[in-house]
Every structure is written in C-alpha cells, then in structure tokens.
Amino acid sequence: MLRIHSIWIIVLLHLPVIWCMTNSKREKLRDETASLFKHGYEGYMKYAYPADELRPLSCGPLHRDPDPNNIGINDIHANVSMTLLDVLSALPVIHPTAFPKAVQLVAEKVSFDQDVKVQVFEMTIRALGALLSTYQTLDDLPDDPAQQYYKGRILELAYDLGKRLLPAFQPVTGIPYARVNLRYGLLKGESIETCTAGAGSLLLEFALLSRLTGDDRFESLAHKAYLALWNRRSTQNLLSNTIGTHGHWLAPGMSGVGAGMDSFFEYGLKAGIMLDEDTYTDIFYDSYAAVQTYIRTSDGFIYRTIQTRLLQPASPSTIDSLSAFLPAMQVLAGDIESAIKSHLVFWNLWRKHNAMPESWLWQERKIEWTGYPGRPEFIESTYYLYQATKDPFYLRVGEKILQDLKTRTKTRCGFATLKNVMTGEQEDRMESFMLSESLKYLYLLFADEPFPNSNTVFTTEGHPLRILKNLLRSPSNPRRAMRKGENPTCPVYQPFSVGGSYTKGIALGIEGREDYDYARSLIYGLSGTGVEIEDGRRIWYDGGKCKIPVESKFAFEIVLSPLNVTDPSAVPPEDPSPGPSKVEQDSATGDYLISDIEGLRLGVRWRFDGKGYDVVNIGPHRIRQGQNVIVQDPAMRGHLPIPSSPSINSESPPELTLRFISYPPSTAFISMPGSATEGQILLHAIGATATSGIDFVPATGTDSTSTEPAWRIGNQPARLVIPPKIDDQLYQGCSKISLESLGINSDASEPFVLMVSRGGCTFFEKLEVAKDLGAIGVLVIGYAPLEEGEAVPPEREYERERGFEDGLIRPSAEYEESHPKYQYIKDVGMVYTEWVIGEVLRRLVETEQNVIGIEILNIDGHNDGSTPANGSEEAKNFLSSSKFHEEKNKDTLTNQGYLMVGGWPIMNLRVIDSDNKYVFTGGKPP
C-alpha cells in the first residue's frame, strides 16, 4: 500500500452526492459550443473556401505544399474543399440552416479528378465517410426534387472516390498501399510501408458503399485487408504498428493502442455492430483481450507501447493523444470500468496542460511532443462515458475543454493549432476534424444526444453510418447454430462508493472514487498539486491513503485435469481440432458439452460486470455470452465443482444497506412504526452483519405482529446514538455508560442503536453492554487510519498481518447458540461499517446538533415495497417470494459450484454427475 500524506480523501456531507449540472447551464454550454462551431465554419467559408483548409491566424486559405515530402499537409489536401466535405454530417445537427447550401456546393463544385497523391485512409474517413453519411441524411429528409438530385449526386461522388482508391489494393497479400494518385492511380516507386490503422480501418465506409451501390469490390477488399492484418498476429494476438504491403511487419515491431494502431480496434468493434457480423466482433474481443493482458499496466490505468516480440515496454515509453479514443471504444464494448480508468489519465493530462499534448512520457511524467492540433479523441470519450454513466463529472470535463478551446485556440476567423501546450504558442492551421469531430462531440455531450440506434455507428472521423435492415446479410445456417443461446448484454453502470466497490459505502460519482486521486498522481506525481476543493459542502481530512490498484489477470488458458499435475509434460498435448466425441454443441440450448477433457484448452476471460470469468473458447470452438460449458467427462467427477467454504450459521444476509437520516433536534423516536417525523436523507452506506444477535430479515409467524422494537429490514428508522468522546477517545462500547450521558431519557421507551468504535474488547462484549443499556442494535465503526509514521497498536498488528484491518468484516461470537450469554443478546443487532462513515456522522452531529436516524435496507437499497414493513401483509407475501430467498441465501450461494481462479469464479463452467444432474448450487442451472 502506498501512503500519500498530502492527498486528501473527500467525504461528502449532503445529498445529492453526485453534484449535478442544471439543465439551464448545460443548455448554455450547448449553445456556446454551437456558436463556436458556426464561428469556425463561417470563417472557413469566408476566408478559405474552396481550399481544403483555413489558415486561422492569417485568415486565408491553406493549399497543398509543393514539397511532396510534406505528407502532413498533402495526404489530406486533394483540392476538394476538404473542410466543407468533412463538416457535412455535423451541419444538420449544429448548424442546420447552412446544410442545404453546403450540399449544393459539394454536389456542384467538388470533383475527385485531381492529379494529387493522397492517403487512402484519410480520404476514406474524411471524404468518403462524409459523403455516405450525407447521402443517408438526405435519404431521411422529405421528398424534394432538388434534394433528390443532390442525394443522387452525393452517392455518385462517393462511388467515384471509392473507385479512385481501388488501385491501392493491388498487392496479392490484400494489404493496400497507403497512398494513391486520384487521377493516375498507383504511382511507380510508391512506398510499401503502411500502418495497421491505415490498412485496417476501411471496413465501415467500404462496406456501406458496396451495399448502397451493389459493387461488392469495396467491401471484399476492405475485409481482405482486415483479415490479412489479423492473420499475421503474434501468438499473443498482438499486431505491430507498421507493415509492408508484402505482408511482413516492419521494424522495430511495436504494439499498442495509439498512433498507427488505434482505429484497427475501433473498426473491428464497429463493423461487428453496424454489419451484425460476428467475425469482426470476435476479432475485436480477441485483440482487446491481448491489449488488456499485455498493453495495459497492472494498475489498469496506462496503455503503453510494448515491443511485440519481447513483450517489454518500449523505451522511451509514451502514451499519445490518439489513444484517448480508447475509453469511447471500451464503453461501446461494454467495459465501462476500464473506460473510466483510462479516461481519468487523459483527464488529468488535459487539466494539467489545458490541452492534450500529442505524446507524453508516462514514467517520467513529462511531455515528449508539445503540440495539440485540436484532436477530438478525448472529447469523444468524454461524450461516450457521459452517455454510459450520466455522471455530471463528464459535463464538467466538457466545460473545461470548451473554455480551453475558446481561450487558447480561437482566433478572429477560426481555431488555431497549438504548437506548444505549455507556452500557448499557436500555429496557422485548422484541421477539418476541429469542426467535424471536436466541436461536434462537445455539442453532442451538452445536448445530451444519445448513442445512435442499432446498426448505426460513428466512424473514426465522427460521421454516423448505418446499415438498414434490407441491406443486412443473414448469417449462414452454421453460424446461426453457433450463436444459439447467445445473450449479448452490457452491464449497466453503477456509481462507485467509499470502499471501492459498486455497492459498498456512500454512493459517489467519479470524483469520489478511491482511485480518482491515484489517477491524478500518475500525472502530477505524489505531491498535492492538482487537488482542488470544488464544493464548500465537503469535509476534508488529512492522512488519506491511496492504494495502488492491481487488476485481475484478464485472459488466460486452463487445462482441465483430474490430476494434481506439477510436471508440465504430464499434461496431454493440445487437441487442435476436437471433434464431437469430445466437444459437441447442444442444438436446443447452444451450450457446449465436453465428453472427453483430454487435450482440451479452455480460454478464459474477465467479465465486464466484474463478477469473475467466463470460458470464451474450447480450442477452436467459440463460446458466446449466454452459452455454458458443461463437463460430463466421468474423469472430472469428484474434482468439479470446487465446494465453497462452509456458510456462516446465520439467517441474516452478510451485508446490508444502511440509510442515515437527519431529523430536527426535537424529534422523538418511539417503538411504533411510522411515528418518526419525515427527515432528510444524508447518505447510504454498506454494513456487514454479525453472526450473532438478531437476524435482520423481516420477522415471520407470531413475531411478525409484535410491537417490540427490533432492528430489521423494513422497520422504521431508529435513533442512532453517538456517545461523546472520553478523554478525546472514541467510545468503544466496552464499559458501562449512563443513558443520561447519551442524551436519552431513561423513562422513555425510545428504541436506539448505539454507535461504538472497534477495539478494546470483543464484539460479544459490545453486544452485552448495549443490551444492558437497552439498545436494540450496535453500529461498530472500523479502525481510524493511522497517521503518517504512527506506530501500529498491538491490538491491530495481528489483524494487519492477516489483512483484516481494512474493509468490512463480519463480527463473530465465541459462544455457541445454546450458551446463556448468546441467548441474552439474541434480540440485539450488530452491524459493522467503515470508519469514514462514523466520522461523517459524528461531525454532522457536532456541527448541526440534529438527531440521526438509522434504517436497514436490502443490499440493493430498496425498501419501497420490495422489502415491506415488518408485520404487514406485504411483508408476509415477500417472505414467501423467490426474490427474498434468493437475497437471503446470497451468502451461502457465493462461489458454490464454480471453479475458482484467483478467488474469482468461472461463471459459465458447469459439471454433470453420473445421473446427468447438475452438481451446481451457485445459482440457477441453465
């Protein structure tokens, strides 16, 4: 664990915990973005059109460079009004009044019959993608003769451009040349070098062009190029960033997710979505597993370049601005947790430099390349993450970006490139993507525009493309059979909380995550630089800690064997093509049945819902989401499933949600439900129940109508009593204390829960003291964090060595249920929660003098009918429902019937006994 004294942990005082942005402010930012977009567009049209780009400092046109070696300019400049072309798909959304004239100008003035050498990739994503997207936009408009003419002309232009790019695909390998001349095709002596992204990011535009025109050449060639790259992958499923058209990777052989590789991953995923083609989806998830296994650092935050053969980080090791596309792709893939982490790295880079430097040496924490040409990738990822999480943090990120673009890049007639993000020095160039993507994605963020519908994606240049149902191709019967039982779903995002899990502690936004400051420290270092107080309603306390995260291994293979094999040579050799005598797919369910385990290798990958792992392949057999792997080989009986640990003898769920409510000082709690006045919810936290004392589930039978106060799920809030400090020490609940000192009238029948600190005596002794006082429950607060350099107390040394000091634990008793002492405390409940929760509550009571109520809810936080009040008819019905028993038995179900790897279950692996019955108690069998 890394101790960072100067980093503060944020504790939130009042709800809402996730600070919202008002609709009026969001709409104001949207309108401001639209105004900036119009400023750049109209500046281009006034000062640069029909040139390809605008010079924003000198307010004039930028043309091709006579020097053919200046590919940074000439790759993009085709004398086709590139900025106007590239911005076409954004105009209907942001500046609709300019759209008809822009379409007319393109239709009547643009010609691709130009004697210019350009890059195939750039012409495809900027020009071809824009034309196809515009054609589909016009197709959605009401019939109008003029619009219909322009629509046909736009498709003609796209088809003409596509044919002019075809000479690049001459190599028999299928890997296209990077550049062609639009008039004369492939020039003699053209370089064979290309990049993985350039050759592998043509699928979307070329496939749509084929399906709209009926000319299959485009889709076929793009498909061949994509597979030509993938088929040259390493044994680890890694690609290098540069390759020759002859099919050999070029030195030095680097792999990553940034420049030269970025959109290869993006187009595999998006082609699978748009075309509903699982070939591309499978390739994407295989390549993504390699990225998560080899490219990502062990903390889950940095995606650096590595040497493909040595699998070692490159030297120097950088991350670049193009790789900021990754969080958006991770959202689209369903891996939102990874997206949040990778985005936080780029967020800290942006807020440190008020822009995104082109490349950054992450180990040295310094910039390698200081430029920022207005790239959109980080903005795009911010938009995707806001749509996935609805966390207003991303709106505030967008607000910061907007203000920096306005103050640092806006000129009299457009937006300048930043030559140096540290000095603010500008360069006289405005790339077309500043309008077509950067300001467009900002606008979509503030307009809260949702993702496109199914079979619709944004290209890597931000152009929306879609395949209509009549253009989709039905899968073959064998592929349809292989997808039987498939249930592809993405996990719904749940906000994190204090404690670092999806459900534990106070529900927080992105800025309240434990690793938010860790991401900051990756960019700023371990000083306090970059820590900001953004809201006066927060409590700050020193001595915070920042844990270095360690991600679980993402992908690996397992070999099923009933033997305790320590000699690798004893493992049977792999069967490269297991037949139906070993592996067979159930035609009814889609599940895969293993009859003979010999020679089988099972590929296993991390699930995006964080619940563990899934088997994704048995050798060449692909296992799809929703399908199970069922082992029925007699050799494995008695070895699978691995039994779980014995369950704790308690009916209480192991964890509960605690709701804390603030009431005016005069509020009195009495035993009858519903009598407490309505209060203000302060926060929610998670608590671990004790194995002794009351069972927290709603009571049944004769006890269900009892008026005796009890601390249970569904009951009304009880008062939380927080004893004052004694000699500046927290009360530990080990010694008797008077009710008067607690502010309780001894003559009243007010039920209360006593808050005590951990330590000083056993949990059982705390229950006894609370029982003597008349409390119905005990809330135990965990240990306070130690100050920097503070010695570990002896009573904590034992627990620290065994990893019990931090986090939630279940308090246990040393007495059997039949013991008289156990019977004495059986009607007193005990819940354990973390120190930070108690500290917040204590300070609230000290500062506001309000009464705190505490209420017990299910782990999912519901108490509005799903867990009715004790004694009601709804409660009786709920007790007999399957939902209740599923929740009640969650503790005993956990990990039973699963093969465990590193503490995580393989969720879709099953075993059948000799009677063909599932030996599975970890949930519902398939």
pLDDT band at 686 (very low <50, low <70, confident <90, very high): confident
Mean pLDDT (whole number) for 353-381: 96
921 or 833, which is more confident: 833
Mean pLDDT (whole number) for 873-896: 37
Q: Is the pLDDT of residue 824 over 60?
A: yes
Q: Is the pLDDT of residue 803 over 60?
A: no
* Active-site pick, 262, 335, 337, 515: 262
Q: How many angstroms from the chain centroid is the CA of residue 912?
A: 35
Q: Is the pLDDT of residue 236 over 60?
A: yes
DSSP state of 506: S
Q: What is the pLDDT of residue 883?
A: 35
Mean pLDDT (whole number) for 120-131: 98
Q: What is the pLDDT of residue 737?
A: 87
pLDDT band at 243 (very low <50, low <70, confident <90, very high): very high
pLDDT band at 778 (very low <50, low <70, confident <90, very high): very high
Residues β-bridged to residue 583: 594
Q: What is the pLDDT of residue 5?
A: 28
pLDDT band at 699 (very low <50, low <70, confident <90, very high): low
Residue 511, amino acid? E
Q: What is the pLDDT of residue 926?
A: 34
488 or 224, which is more confident: 224
* Percentage with pLDDT > 90 across the chain: 55
Can you list the domains of the chain with their CATH numbers?
A: 655-893 (3.50.30.30)
217-230 and 203-213 helices, crossing angle to 10°: 150
Please state, in angstroms and as integers, the Cα–Cα distance from residue 741 to each residue in 443, 701, 774, following that order. 59, 38, 14
| Residues shown for the chain | 926
Q: Is the pLDDT of residue 880 over 60?
A: no
Segment among 93-102, 489-498, 596-605, 723-732 with least mean pLDDT: 489-498
Q: Is the pLDDT of residue 543 over 80?
A: no
Q: Is the pLDDT of residue 326 over 70?
A: yes
Mean pLDDT in the chain?
Answer: 83
pLDDT band at 802 (very low <50, low <70, confident <90, very high): very low
Dig out the tokens for 664 from the structure.
């005016």
Q: Is the pLDDT of residue 756 over 90?
A: yes
pLDDT band at 921 (very low <50, low <70, confident <90, very high): very low
Please state, in angstroms and as integers, the Cα–Cα distance from residue 626 to each residue in 483, 484, 614, 924, 926, following that order. 10, 9, 10, 13, 9
* Active-site pick, 335, 377, 614, 891: 377
Q: How many angstroms from the chain centroid is the CA of residue 411?
A: 36
Q: What is the pLDDT of residue 538?
A: 35
Quick one: which H or E segment has residue 479? Answer: helix 477-482
229-243, 497-511, 629-643: range with highest mean pLDDT: 229-243
- Please report, for the chain, how many H helices and E strands are present, in that order: 28, 36
460 is in an annotated binding site: yes
Using alpha carbons, select from 549, 721, 513, 729 the residue that is nearest to residue 12: 513
Contacts of 476 (CB under 8 A, 6+ apart): none
Q: Is the pLDDT of residue 815 over 60?
A: no
Using alpha carbons, select from 233, 196, 234, 228 the residue that is nearest to residue 310: 234
In this structure, are residues 350 and 378 in contact, taking their beta carbons and an 8 Å threshold? yes
Q: What is the pLDDT of residue 797?
A: 63
pLDDT band at 783 (very low <50, low <70, confident <90, very high): confident
Other Cβ atoms less than 10 A from the Cβ of 188: the count is 5
Q: Is the pLDDT of residue 535 over 60?
A: no
CA gap 233, 261 in Å, rounded: 13
CA gap 78, 82 in Å, rounded: 7
Q: Is the pLDDT of residue 134 over 90?
A: yes
Segment among 485-494, 561-570, 629-638, 728-737 with least mean pLDDT: 561-570
Question: How close are the terminal C-alpha atoms of the chain, in Å?
Answer: 41
CA gap 433, 329 in Å, rounded: 18
23-47 and 393-408 helices, crossing angle to 10°: 30
* Active-site pick, 358, 399, 437, 517: 358
Q: What is the pLDDT of residue 559?
A: 86
- Give catalytic status of residue 122 as yes or no: yes
Q: Is the pLDDT of residue 671 over 90?
A: no
Residues β-bridged to residue 78: none
Q: Compute the Cα dihedral for 130, 133, 135, 137 and give only its sign.
A: negative
- Give catalytic status of residue 262 as yes or no: yes
In this structure, are residues 130 and 436 in contact, taking their beta carbons and an 8 Å threshold? yes
CA gap 20, 808 in Å, rounded: 30
pLDDT band at 813 (very low <50, low <70, confident <90, very high): low
Q: What is the pLDDT of residue 374?
A: 98
CA gap 490, 319 in Å, rounded: 28
Q: Is the pLDDT of residue 704 over 70?
A: no
Residues β-bridged to residue 906: 613, 899
Query: Exposed/middle/buried for 399, CB within 10 Å: 0-12, 13-18, 19+?
Result: buried
Q: What is the pLDDT of residue 881?
A: 34
Segment among 276-280, 674-678, 794-798 with least mean pLDDT: 674-678
Residue 663, amino acid? Y
In this structure, are residues 71 and 119 in contact, taking their beta carbons and an 8 Å threshold? yes
Mean pLDDT (whole number) for 248-263: 95
CA gap 687, 657 in Å, rounded: 6
299 or 133, which is more confident: 133
Q: Is the pLDDT of residue 138 over 80?
A: yes
CA gap 555, 344 in Å, rounded: 24
Q: What is the pLDDT of residue 915?
A: 54
Residues β-bridged to residue 642: 898
Q: What is the pLDDT of residue 634?
A: 82
- Give catalytic status of residue 358 as yes or no: yes
Q: What is the pLDDT of residue 242?
A: 97
Using alpha carbons, select from 371, 384, 460, 452 the residue that is nearest to residue 416: 371
CA gap 270, 253 in Å, rounded: 26
Residue 913, amino acid? D
Q: What is the pLDDT of residue 219?
A: 98
pLDDT band at 116 (very low <50, low <70, confident <90, very high): very high
300 or 882, which is more confident: 300
Q: Is the pLDDT of residue 541 over 90?
A: no
Question: Which residue, chain included where needed, has tokens 């590919």?
Answer: 71
* Cis amide prior to 68 (ω within 30 degrees): no
Q: What is the pLDDT of residue 652?
A: 64
CA angle 249, 250, 255 (to 5 degrees): 70
* Active-site pick, 52, 75, 86, 122: 122
pLDDT band at 13 (very low <50, low <70, confident <90, very high): very low
Using alpha carbons, select from 581, 580, 578, 562 the residue that is nearest to residue 570: 562
Dig out the tokens for 166 from the structure.
């075809």
